[in-house]
A and B are shown apart, each in its own frame.
Chain A
Amino acid sequence: AQTVTQSQPEMSVQEAETVTLSCTYDTSESDYYLFWYKQPPSRQMILVIRQEAYKQQNATENRFSVNFQKAAKSFSLKISDSQLGDAAMYFCARNQFYFGTGTSLTVIP
């Protein structure tokens, strides 16, 4: 099955703290791409970070980083120094077609 699983429907974090969102996936492919997308309450989804499965090094984009464990098929997102603007739904996706059910992140002032 080509599934993507996000086991945390909701998460909360204090402003300026760090939070980690979990994602696991299932695939028989050896080459694939993983994405984290953010969907704020205004609905337009935007890319947060992207990881190529053949690369060992974890991707980083400013305050956002991933922990990619290929053997475990795990792809978690770490948000450091959380800001109020980080509050949104976060979706993990494999390639262009397979999305998880999302994690709603609340940032507490």
Chain B
Amino acid sequence: DAGVTQSPTHLIKTRGQQVTLRCSPKSGHDTVSWYQQALGQGPQFIFQYYEEEERQRGNFPDRFSGHQFPNYSSELNVNALLLGDSALYLCASSLGIWGEYEQYFGPGTRLTVT
């Protein structure tokens, strides 16, 4: 079992550009959540996808959007990048959307906006 995988590992973008990050969940998991983790901070919840729909959303602007595919993999898209979007983006998968389920995290994508 490969666990949760994310690509790319690192990414450098220019302010104003758009970026797409990808996540493959752990085998058997149907729910994917995305988090933004600034340096030295805890993960901030962006949104959660289940059955190809956004189920929950944190306090992030519409520039952050996502998608879930029939195979449960997911993408995070960020438009009009700002310097403040520089962070580690974590993907986590679980079996179900309810709060009691353990999440398995990927290694993250380090996004740098210059």
B-binding residues in A (CB < 8 A): 4, 6, 32-33, 35, 37, 42-47, 50, 52, 91, 94-102
Contacts and interface: CB of A to CB of B under 8 A. Distances in A.
Contacts of A96: 33, 45, 48, 92, 94, 97-99, 101, 103
B7 to A, nearest CB: 14
A45 B100 contact: no
A32 B99 contact: yes
B84 interface: no
Most chain-A CB neighbours within 10 Å: which of B33, B99, B105, B108? Answer: B99
Contacts of B88: 43
A33 B103 CA distance: 12
Nearest to B45: A97
B42 A97 contact: no
Contact of A33 (B56, B99, B104): B99
Nearest to B97: A96
A47 B48 CA distance: 19
Contacts of B41: 101-102
Nearest to B94: A96
Interface of B: 33, 35, 40-45, 48, 56, 58, 88, 90, 92, 94, 97-108
Nearest to B99: A95
A101 B42 contact: yes
Most chain-B CB neighbours within 10 Å: which of A44, A50, A97? Answer: A97
A46 to B, nearest CB: 7
Given A43-B108, A91-B43, A97 B102 contact: no
Contacts of B101: 96
Contact of B42 (A32, A35, A46, A99): A99
A87 B86 CA distance: 26
A37 B92 CA distance: 12
B107 A35 contact: no
A97 B107 contact: no
Contacts of B107: 42-44
A46 B3 CA distance: 11
